[in-house]
Amino acid sequence: MIGNDVVDLSDPESWRDACHSSFDRRVFTPEEGQSLSMDHSDVQKRWILWSAKEATYKAARRESAEVAFSPARFVVDLDRSLRGSVRYGIRRWPVRVQIDGDCVHAVVSGDEFFTGTLSGACRLRSAELRDPSEGVRQFALSSIATELGVAISDLRIEKVSRIPQLILAGEAMPVALSLSHHGAYAGFACRDPRIEKADRVSQCAAAGKATCVSLSHDASYASIAYRSHVEQGVLR
């Protein structure tokens, strides 16, 4: 379960008076709205909160079509390092927001420590701005290929029912992928296919399914799962 959202603070759409006068009241909780009015850097903060809500909506919607596009119901709780969580009803998702110049990039993951999450944001080149949807796909493919150590030609992204799907060597990867672009920036987030597979192996092992473990042809996945779980404090 993955979501991401990128906002270009330099885009005229992000400027202080670009939104409808009731935008903040519609989108933010009373507490969030109050924190905005008290914060002199409220334009940046507005989009930090928005991106966290939007990234969470994307992630939550994948889990359930019942989740409504209702930003005020997504309650953001971030610390000073812009890490924290977003709550929707009784569910809570880990979120982190990164700011690089004019780029605000929020990533939501089911993985609290983001150890199994690949993500990034970049400024699109002028040629890519003519088709930012293609630009963000190329950025995601290039980043994921580098991370996995595979040729970019082996990877592609297809949309299935409006949801981007990562294909490796012709095989659909069972991992969530989220793409986003706004203004001059593009961002992505993806569950790391190695961790995903490792987690499945370790889940099989935990369930005592020895056959499943023995069928795992790459022992490194198990060690990745082990490291991941140690980092998360699940194992010692």
* Nearer CB in complex with other proteins: 51/228: 51
Contact between 162 and other proteins (CB under 8 A)?
Answer: yes
Q: CA 187 to CA 106: how far, in whole Å?
A: 9
Count the Cβ atoms, other than its own, within 10 Å of residue 207.
10
Judged by DSSP in three states, 176 sits in coil
Q: CA 76 to CA 56: how far, in whole Å?
A: 10
Binding mask 40-79 for other proteins (x = CB under 8 A): ----------x---x--x----------xxxxxx------
* Contact pick of 96, 105, 137, 182 for other proteins (by CB under 8 A): 182
Give the pair of three-digit tokens for residue 17: 């008076």
CB-based contact 74:88 (threshold 8 Å): yes
Only one of the segments 16-24, 37-45, 168-176, 204-212 lies at the binding site for other proteins (rule: CB under 8 A); that segment is: 16-24
Contact between 130 and other proteins (CB under 8 A)?
Answer: no
* Nearer CB in complex with other proteins: 26/209: 26
Q: CA 53 to CA 236: how far, in whole Å?
A: 34
Binding mask 24-43 for other proteins (x = CB under 8 A): --xx----------------
Contact between 15 and other proteins (CB under 8 A)?
Answer: no
Q: CA 112 to CA 93: how far, in whole Å?
A: 8
* Nearer CB in complex with other proteins: 6/190: 6
Q: What is the largest CA-CA distance in the chain?
A: 61
Please give the C-alpha separations between residue 101 and each of 10, 51, 78, 177, 231, in angstroms, as whole numbers: 9, 15, 19, 25, 30
* Nearer CB in complex with other proteins: 62/229: 62
Q: Residues interacting with other proteins, by CB under 8 A?
A: 7, 13, 19-20, 22-23, 26-27, 50, 54, 57, 68-73, 162, 182
